[in-house]
Amino acid sequence: MTNFLLKTVEPLLKAALEGGSNHWYVTTESNIDYLRKMFPITFNSEVPFYPEGYLAIQDKYGFLEYPEILNIHKLLNGLIQLKRTFPSHYYRFQRHDYDSRTADIYLQLCLFNDILFD
């Protein structure tokens, strides 16, 4: 499952982390160094796809009291939420024709089950 998700969903997450969500988030923690001992990980965007992998994400504005943890479970839930609440963005994702807005919506759904930052 990890390989499939890495090939299909990781580019969408990378688009959010490298551009679509830059206006509101910072990564405060990651266990990339620990996971690199066991897996061939290159980018932080790959970390949450592996067992025990996570990114701790905080907003730049201080609205969140604590960082949200992004892991494989939240990535899968984000896909379900994207399909249910933003079907046009999900369709773009399926066609590999998404933009930074779709990527940002996906990340926020993974973390919050809602869109908090526009």
- What are the average pLDDT values for consecutive 10-residue runs of the chain, which has 118 residues? 72 93 94 94 91 95 95 95 97 93 97 95
Predicted pLDDT at 118: 87
Helix, strand or coil, per DSSP, at residue 45: helix
Determine, yes or no, domain membership for 90: yes
Q: Which two tokens stand for residue 96?
A: 């590999």
Alpha carbon of 106 to those of 27, 71, 116: distances in Å?
A: 16, 13, 12
Side-chain-side CA neighbours of 42 within 13 Å: the count stands at 3
* Total count of domains within the chain: 1
Burial readout 30-63 (b: 16 or more C-beta within 10 A, e: otherwise): bebeebeeeeebeebbbbbbbeebbbebbbeeee
Which pTM was predicted?
Answer: 0.92
Determine, yes or no, domain membership for 9: yes
* Structural domain range at position 81: 2-112
Predicted pLDDT at 7: 80
